[in-house]
Amino acid sequence: MIDVRELMTTGPVIPVIVVDDPSSAKPLAEALVAGGIRVLEVTLRTPAAIDAIRAMSDVEGAIVGVGTALDGDDLARAQDAGATFAVSPGYTEALGKSAQKLSMPLLPGIANSADIMRARDGGFTAVKFFPAMQAGGVPMLKALGGPFVDTVFCPTGGISTSNAAEFLALPNVLCVGGSWLCPKDLVSKGAWSDITALAKDASALAT
């Protein structure tokens, strides 16, 4: 089982991927891996998501996980398709227990102190700060760093090339997440070299 902190330190950015057309999944994963981005979060937001996880899991070098996992059933069907980790927008005790039962590494979402304490009670101290910009951005993460000295964050939501470095400079931020590496228009026209270029820029961000 992959350690969540290891996943978070594999690269500075975890792309949040929405796949509409399952045939684009494999070339998209190959384009990201070619640009040095290996940890891929495929969100369960489209009917194509599970097939996309299956297709991307065959790509050499890719570490494929499921995003937008809301319950144990989501974790189980994604794991069956080859997902090796899961990301959720929030945390519930039931989701945490399901992940532990399935031995599936989980990066659960939190947005405030109470969320962090609940996740911590369940054994999770590596969390996604979501939605990062709307929930207070860099100043909020600095403030949360006071009481929660053992917690590390992957801020996601509203992050792009213009502000990623500011988040990555914080000592309690191991990586950031975002959808900017896989813009819909580039994916739909199969502009894979452009996506590799975005991935290269993201890989070069300092952690």
Q: Which residues are catalytic?
A: 41, 128
Burial class (CB within 10 angstroms; exposed 0-12, middle 13-18, buried 19+) of 199: buried
- Residue written as tokens 């405030």? 112
Among positions 117-146, residues that touch ligand 3PG (CB under 6 A) are 130
CB of 146 to ligand 3PG, least distance (A): 25
The alpha helices in 145-191, defined as continuous H runs, are 164-168, 184-188
Of residues 8, 16, 175, 186, which one binds ligand 3PG by CB under 6 A?
16
- Residue written as tokens 């819909």? 184
Give the DSSP per-residue string, 72-101: HHHHHHHHHHT---EE-SS--HHHHHHHHH
Of residues 78, 159, 174, 182, which one binds ligand 3PG by CB under 6 A?
159
Of residues 111, 155, 157, 196, which one binds ligand 3PG by CB under 6 A?
157
CB of 168 to ligand 3PG, least distance (A): 15
Q: Check: CB of residue 59 under 8 Å from CB of residue 25.
A: no
Of residues 79, 88, 156, 196, which one binds ligand 3PG by CB under 6 A?
156
Per CB under 6 A, residues contacting ligand 3PG are: 16, 130, 156-159, 177-180
